[in-house]
Amino acid sequence: MNTNFNLGSLILRMNRSMVVGGSFAAVIFIGAVLLMLPITHTEGGWLPFVDALFTATSATCVVGLVVVDTGTYFNLLGQLVIILLIQIGGVGVMTLTTMIILGMGQKMGLKEKLLMNEALGADGPAGVIGLARQIIGYTLCIELLFGTILALHFYFNVGMGLQSIYYGYWHSISAFCNAGFDLMGNFNSFTAFRGDYVINICIILLITLGGLGFMVEGDIIKKRCWRKLRLQSKVVLTSYFILSIGGAFVIWLFEYTNPDTLANLPEGEKFLASLFQSVTVRTAGFNTIDASLLNEDTLLFLMLLMFIGGAPASTAGGIKVTTFAVIIMACIALLRGKKDVVMFRRRISEEIIHKSLGIFVLCLLWLGLAFFLLLSFDKGENHFHLVMCELFSAFGTVGLGVNITPQWDVFSKLVLIMTMFIGRIGILTFVMAFLEKKPSSLKYPYEDMVIG
């Protein structure tokens, strides 16, 4: 009788949605247990389990919302646990699972490779192992490169001493994984470095590289020609450029005369701060201006960027830029009376259109329910738009807090925990984990009905 534990066989017994959701949930639970222990805190004492669970979820789902300040509440061990959770969540549990299976000397069968192929977004089952290795290698190289730049800058220009090495690599990992956690203390994020071009540009590049996704970046490295890129790469790159530059302009315009944010800054810093917020608000959550001081119209616009998020198969959350682009183009095709949805001279299949609309509607339904629950638990203690911003920040795995996160009660924190979890693994993955696919060949007759 063979009693050897086969991780691959265990994974195979579950569908893809259960694997992804269950893996993230397991990592979050382990992280929560570690973070509640006194040995991970600067002043000892037990962290309430709900707060530990919130922190672990925020780290693993690379969100950045916090109920206790990371830089002052947690000691070195606690901070290392958090950055490890961020790294696992950023690289992807499925990627690490693939490498663990290989590290244990187990071979992956065709069905196991098909499961991993769907989760990792490989071109085929044969490329799963190679893609997993490339993802990990690429991640480590980028984090090492920018971590070194940040460490040297912190050492020579900020005067942090040897602590600069730790800060440089820690924030490099957090930024590339789009987590938004920082060690600056007192929930200040990078507000003290608003005019520091080196730190701002490094963080912007790290967030962008992490949010574009490994599939797009791999396609760029391989093809090196715009015309040869896959449709997804073209859509992602175009959307990123429009949303980043356009978002920076809107923030600059809305906040130009706000004395609490941009009004008193030099012109160069105004644009830099606007660009930083435009990039980070879509998925990372760092900030160089206090989000709670932004105008209401600016916050509403930022919520839209949070809702859109980044690219598929990346460290970003939200509905994803490809989903948003398909919905916009489908609406344009409808208004023009065209049957086909065309992007870059390529038709989009009806299956992709239906899936995009399904994701959009399901996300709105969840956000509506979660917003209703938060308002019920909040009982009017916070402004309407601040509660909404906190919710969208959690769903988009952004982590751009408006200084009300530590005030939430247990039930509100649980709602945000579930929202962060759904935002990271995807609404379809979450729903399909509880539903069994039952394909049917039965077709019913058509009948028209009046809509609109």
Residue-wise pLDDT for 393-405, tens only, equals 999 888 887 878 8
The alpha helices in 74-213, defined as continuous H runs, are 76-91, 93-103, 110-120, 128-153, 163-176, 197-212
> Above 70 in pLDDT, residue 16?
no
For the chain, percent of residues with pLDDT exceeding 70: 84
For the chain, give me the number of helices (H) and strands (E)? 19, 2
pTM greater than 0.75 (yes/no)? yes
What pLDDT does residue 3 have? 44
Query: Comparing 84-98, 240-254, 400-414, 431-445, which segment has the lowest mean pLDDT?
Result: 431-445
The answer to whether residues 312 and 302 touch, using CB atoms and an 8 Å cutoff, is no
Q: Residue 311 has which token pair?
A: 């690219």
> Above 90 in pLDDT, residue 143?
yes
What pLDDT does residue 201 have? 95
Q: How many other C-beta atoms are found inside a 10 Å radius of the C-beta of residue 47?
A: 22
Q: How far apart are the first and last CA of the chain?
A: 64
What pLDDT does residue 377 have? 87
The answer to whether residues 419 and 391 touch, using CB atoms and an 8 Å cutoff, is yes
Q: Residue 406 has which token pair?
A: 């530590």
> Above 70 in pLDDT, residue 111?
no
Mean pLDDT for the stretch of residues 347-373: 92
Please state the φ and ψ torsions of residue 266, each to the nearest 5 degrees.
-60, 155
- Work out the angle at residue 291's Cα, subtended by the Cα atoms of residues 250 and 426, and round it to the nearest 5 degrees: 80
pLDDT 10s digits, 161-218 = 889 999 999 999 999 998 889 998 777 788 889 889 999 999 999 999 988 887 888 8
CA 136 to chain centre: 17
- Find the largest Cα–Cα distance for the chain: 75
Q: Label residue 312 exposed, middle or buried (CB < 10 Å: 0-12, 13-18, 19+).
A: middle
